[in-house]
A = this chain, B = another copy of it.
Amino acid sequence: MGSVALDDVETPSGKAERILGGAATFGCVAASRFVKPEMVGIVGDDFPEQHIRLFEECGVGTTALEKKTGKTFHWEGRYHENMIHRDTLLTELGVFEDWLPQIPESLRSMPYLFLGNIHPELQLHVLKQMSNVKLVGCDTMNLWINIARDELAEVISKVDVLIINDEEARMLTEKVSLSLAAKEILEMGPSVVIVKRGEHGATVHSRDRLFFCPALPIDHVADPTGAGDTFAGAMMGFLAKTGNTEFSDICRGVVMGTVLASFCVEDFSLNRLIHVDDRQMEDRRKMLEDMVKA
């Protein structure tokens, strides 16, 4: 569940307009490498039919993708030279503005749920509709830490796996040490916290375990947009495929998330991601495995 967007993105590598984006887009397409996910989102009547077809070709279910008169969520952003920080130039919520996500009856007993980065109240609203969830993953962002901290804390108390980046983890806990920050977030409720560290990789924290997954070396990042959503979607898809939710399964999911995110950033929108074959995925997974062997 998350945004489906038409983005204008400018990075040091180039510029693209009205390209397919949004957390649900990247997350579901990544998850579709492992399972047949259902996308929960909303688009306007300006949303190109070809994008819907693309979702379906990828095996992404669109039963819960609402179509409504109005404009699709539109984001315009420009990345800094470091490819980490970015300025939002424009956000037009469109049909997203008063969206109250409804999970169709047929999907309410699905076992794996990922709450993409939207207002924590909407994340709670979705969570309450699900009746049989085995594992709930969740993403968030600095905005909600600043303006909806209490609601966010409630969401965090109800999820199994929180995915958060290093800056957000520090902001949420006011701890400098990421290790301490992760411990404090674990106290808030989740059994696992995944801290994304950009080009340095990601760490998976539980009360008694710690796993470090490096990032793959990428010489030329074209566009980092969607990397975090791709990471999360691939991890959730991998877990759903295995059917297990042990710490070690989550770690292996993080490895696959890292692999797919590494492809995502090599081009704008889904351009690279949808052309990745199993062999290329396995090559990068193997590379990650070899990278930590002394």
Instruction: List chain A positions with a Cβ less than 8 A from chain B.
Output: 12, 81-83, 176-180, 183, 197, 199-201, 203, 210-214, 217-221, 248, 251-252, 254-255, 291-294
When the two chains form their complex, are residues A177 and B218 in contact, meaning their CB atoms are under 8 A apart? yes
Chain B contacts for A213, CB-based, 8 A: 292, 294
Count chain B CB atoms within 10 A of each CB in A183, A212, A291 and give the residue with the most: A212
B292 adjacent to A211 (CB under 8 Å): yes
Roughly how many angstroms separate A55 CA and B30 CA in the complex, as a whole number? 56
Smallest CB gap from A83: residue in B: B176
A248-B82 in contact (CB<8A): no
Q: Are B294 and A251 in contact (CB under 8 A)?
A: yes
Pairwise interchain contact A294-B179, C-beta atoms closer than 8 A = no
Question: Shortest distance in angstroms between A208's beta carbon and chain B's nearest beta carbon?
Answer: 11
Question: Could you give 18 example pairs across A and B, Cβ below 8 Å?
Answer: A81-B176, A177-B199, A177-B219, A177-B220, A178-B217, A179-B218, A179-B219, A180-B219, A197-B200, A200-B200, A210-B217, A211-B293, A212-B291, A213-B292, A214-B214, A248-B294, A251-B294, A292-B292
Contact between chains at A291 and B214 (CB < 8 Å): no
A258 to B: closest C-beta gap in Å: 11
Picked from B179, B200, B252, B292, the residue with its CB within 8 Å of the CB of A217 is: B179
Please state if A221 and B177 are interface contacts (CB–CB under 8 Å): yes
Number of identical protomers: 2
From B203, B255, B291, give the contact of A294 (CB < 8 A): B255
CA distance A177 to B178 in the complex (A): 23
- Given A213-B294, A251-B294, 20 new contacts (CB under 8 A): A12-B176, A177-B199, A177-B217, A177-B218, A177-B219, A177-B220, A177-B221, A178-B217, A179-B218, A179-B219, A180-B220, A200-B201, A201-B212, A210-B217, A211-B292, A211-B294, A212-B214, A212-B292, A248-B294, A252-B294
Q: A197-B200, A200-B200 are in contact. Are A211 and B291 (CB under 8 A)?
A: yes
By a CB distance below 8 angstroms, the chain B residues around A211 are 291-294
* With contact pairs A200-B200, A294-B248, A294-B255 given, residues A176 and B212 touching in the complex (Cβ less than 8 Å): no
In Å, the complex CA distance between A183 and B251 comes to: 29
